[in-house]
Structure formats: C-alpha cells, structure tokens
Amino acid sequence: MRICIITAGGAGMFCGSCMQDNTLARSLRMAGADAVLLPTYTPIRVDEENASSGQVFMGGINVYLDSRLPGWRWLPDWCRSWLDRPQVVSFLSQFSSSTSAAQLGPLTVDLLTGTSGPQRREITELVKYLATELRPDVILLSNALISGLIPELRKHWHGQLACLLQGDDIFLKDLPAPWQAQATQLITENCRTVDLFLTHSSYYSDFMSRLLQLPHDRFRTIPLAVQPAPPSAHAAPPHTNTANAPLHIGYFARICPEKGAFRFLEAAAELLPADPALRMSIGGFLPALHQKRFLQQLQATARGCEDRLQWLGSPATREEKFRLLATFDWLCVPAEYREPKGLYVLEAALLGIPSLLPSHGAFPERVQLLQDGQLFEPSESLAAAIRRLPRLRTTQQRQNLAQRCLDTSGMQQAGEAVLQILTPTNS
C-alpha cells in the first residue's frame, strides 16, 4: 500500500512535528508500506535519516509572494520552478522575517481558502502530481493547516484521506483577529470529507473533535514513533545510586515561554543557591524572538552558580542530543500550554530518564504509558515539585523504563499500529 505523508517544512529549524513525520514514514516502511514523505513550503530538517522526497511542493517563496503580490502567480513556470528547488528554498528561508502565527494571519487564510484564493496555482500543481503521478492509496496530511488542498484533491483523487493533528490549535490560538476565526472556520469546512483524524493522545482527540466540530468516531489515537538511542549515548558516566547523590535536572525542548523555559530558570534561581548538590541544565532550539530575554535571565540566574547551571545550546546531530540527555537524572519541561504529544518525554525515556511534567494535556498519558515519571499541578511551584524528586534510581529502573518505551513506541511497533489503522479495509 502506498501512503503519502504531506508534511510542512519548518523553515530550517528543528520542528518536532516534522521530525515525527519523518520517523513515522520510516516506521511505515519498516512495517511494509510504500511510504512517501512529501515536504511542502520548505525542506524538512531532522537529526536522523531524512526520509523525505527531494521535491518540495507549494514552495514557501512562491506561496508567500502569491499572497503578497497579485501578479506573481502569472510568472512563467521556469521562474517559479527555480524558486521551488529545495536548495533555493532552504537558502532564502534563512532571511524570512517570521514563521510565527502572529505574523502569518493573511497567508494562513489564503492557504486555507484553496483554489478560490491566491494559492490556486500551487495547490493545483500538487493535486495534479498526487492524482496522476504518485497515485497513493492513502494520503495523510500532517496538520490541518494544509487542508486548503482538500476540496480540489477530492475532485481528482478518491483514496482514503487522513489528517494527523499535532498542535494545530496552538498555531491557531496565536493568530490575531480576524484571522483566527476565519482560519478555524475554513479548517472545519475543509476537513468535513476527511476519513480519519489521527492524534498522539486521547486528550487531543477529544479537544480537537470539539474545536473543529467533527464527529469523535472519526478520531484515532496512534503511538509516537521513536528509534533506539544511539550507542554513543550509553557511554555517558553512570548515575550515582545513593540517596544523597547529586541530582541533575535538565530541560530540553524549544526555548520559549509556552514550553516553560523561563519558569525552569525561575526554579533554578530559587533552588541552586540552597542546594549545592543540585545541577540544572537547559538546552534546545532558541528562536531569535526569545534570545534577548532568555540570555538575560540565564545570566541573572547563573550568577554565583555558574558551575551548576549550564546552557547546552541546540545540538546539531541526534548523537549530540542524546549524549546531553544521558547526563540528566530527570527531564523537566514545565509546558504552560496543553501539550498534544510530548515527544521529548519518550526521547528521554529511551535512556531510562523519567520526566517531571505538569498534569495536563498528553503528559498524564505519557506517564501512565511508561509507568514512570512524576506529575505536578500546573499551579504548583516548580521548585517544590523538584524538591520532591527522589535521588535514588537503580540501574534496573532505568533499563525497565527504556524497554517499556521501545515496547510501546518503537518504530516497528508504531509503524504496524498506524498501518493497521490506515488500511482502508480496517478503517
């Protein structure tokens, strides 16, 4: 069975959804499917084997100029095709002003309007390729923000259509008025002919079913897919198994307010001066928007504790990322929004590292699935929650956690589970 996953590139940054789409494509191939990962807007950036095709549809440069310059869509094909080359899109994306929802309201609505709007040419080209050249049995949109192509797609292609929802509401919530209401309504209308909606948590199925006013019986929950940690990560120094051992708490996710990065630093400022045995580290992709505030707060927090509060940066490779994670005793990402998936929880678990998380969104499901980790009330002091963490963890506990993670979310297992859901006769 040929399955086409249409993903959205993250303009050169590491994007959790792009990375999960990539792992899902590889997982489906392991399960025996002919899985094609088709990028839109920009090439994807991942820290593992890139499973995407070399072709980019709805190239971000053309999409942007179609929206801003009415005459741009009438340019000759050779000019537009040149701007859709992955190398060109990747290079020019470096100079884009923003990928934040707050500045992309009109463009988002233009894309969701489909062929009746300024993106007609780009959408028609993609649909033609899907319907006449690729001809997949199943098309899986990696988010509902791509749904503007659905009405045109349904005219020319009659396979099974699925949509993976993995944080769409977060982007929509940040759109300014009136774009937020318009975009939500357009998604609702576009998605009425979608056969299946997939999410990575029961929480998110319930939430998105209500938000988009869609029947809950069309929603399915699928596992997140992870591959084993690289062998180099296991070469990290072993953790000390004593009750009074030093404790290393690490934050590793995108550096932004909604992920709780600044709340983590506030807890560090309270805890580190009073506990000489405590270490805290923070790492992940740091958007330009938050650099000034983050660096100021990091410097202020570290004053006098420079040896016990470390800025890890954003590792360029998967191996580097896991070597950093392996030094943690606990992962802590105190996200302020309701996380729909929490991939970083599983990445830490691959190394036997449990997570301290707020008790909302998908997090309770992750802790329950892994049978390890701790939750705290979102209104509670993060410093107090960290103080409660046990310092004694045995090697066996870590090994058990890593194995449970692979048993429930390993690539082979995840691929087989998703393939069964996507097989038309079983859907």
* Count: domains in the chain: 2
pLDDT at 78: 47
Residue of 95 and 135 predicted with greater confidence: 135
The 10s digit of each residue's pLDDT in 138-189 is 999 999 999 999 999 999 999 999 999 999 999 899 898 899 999 999 999 9
Higher pLDDT, 25 or 245: 25
Q: What is the pLDDT of residue 299?
A: 86
Whole-number pLDDT of residue 203: 97
pLDDT for 98: 47
- Asked if residue 259 and residue 153 are part of one domain, the reply reads no
| pLDDT for residue 97 is more than 70 | no
* Greatest extent of the chain over all pairs of C-alpha atoms, in Å: 70
Q: Which residue's entry shows tokens 């180099």?
A: 232
DSSP element (H, E) containing 133: none
At 71 the pLDDT is 59
Are residues 333 and 364 located together in one domain of the fold? yes
Where residue 106 falls among pLDDT bands split at 50, 70, 90?
Answer: confident
Mean pLDDT computed over 71-86: 56
Residues 267 and 405 in one domain: yes
* Helix (H) / strand (E) containing 193: none
Domain shared by 63 and 95, yes or no? yes
Q: Do 162 and 254 reside in the same domain of the chain? A: no
Q: What stretches of 60-149 show up as alpha helix (H) in DSSP? A: 60-68, 77-83, 86-93, 105-113, 120-128
User: Two tokens at 246?
Assistant: 């030093």
Q: Do residues 89 and 137 both lie within one domain?
A: yes
188-233: per-residue pLDDT in tens?
Answer: 999 999 999 999 999 999 999 999 999 999 999 999 999 999 888 8
Beta carbons within 10 angstroms of residue 396's beta carbon: 9
| pLDDT given for residue 9 in this prediction | 74
The domain spanning residue 300 has which CATH number? 3.40.50.2000
Residue-level pLDDT at 163: 97
Domain shared by 189 and 300, yes or no: no
Q: Tell whether 187 and 285 lie within a shared domain.
A: no
Q: Is the pLDDT of residue 426 over 70?
A: no
Tokens of 291: 């650099």
Res 105: pLDDT: 80
Same domain for 175 and 275?
no
Does residue 60 have a pLDDT over 80?
A: no
Q: Which of 147-161, 184-198, 314-328, 368-382 has the lowest mean pLDDT?
A: 314-328
Whole-number mean pLDDT of the chain?
87
Cβ atoms within 10 A of the Cβ of 242, count? 9
Pairs from 112-118 (Cβ < 8 Å, separation ≥ 24): 112/145, 112/147, 112/148, 112/182, 112/183, 112/186, 112/187, 112/190, 113/148, 113/186, 114/148, 114/149, 114/150, 114/151, 114/152, 114/190, 115/151, 115/152, 117/148, 118/66, 118/67, 118/70, 118/73
Domain residue limits at 269? 231-409
Query: Is 389 a residue whose pLDDT tops 60?
Result: yes
Give, in degrees to the nearest 5, the angle at Cα 376 between 380 and 303.
60
Q: How confident is the model at residue 79 (pLDDT cuts 50, 70, 90)?
A: low
Does 289 share its domain with 417? no
Same structural domain, 149 and 39: yes
Reply yes or no on whether the pLDDT at 398 is more than 80: yes
* Contact yes or no for 205/216 (Cβ under 8 A): yes
- Regarding whether 359 and 280 lie in a shared domain, the answer is yes
Average pLDDT of span 93-103: 51
Q: Predicted confidence band at 54 (pLDDT cuts at 50, 70, 90)?
A: confident
**Residue 288 confidence (pLDDT) above 90:** no
Q: What is the pLDDT of residues 406-425, one digit of tens each?
A: 999 999 999 999 999 998 75
Q: How far is CA 317 from CA 43, 50, 322, in A?
A: 17, 12, 9
pLDDT for position 425:
59
Q: Looking at residues 106-115, what average pLDDT do you find?
A: 89
In this prediction, residue 128 has a pLDDT band, given cuts at 50, 70 and 90, of very high
Which has more confidence, 245 or 334?
Answer: 334
Question: How many C-beta atoms surround the C-beta of residue 140 within 10 A?
Answer: 25
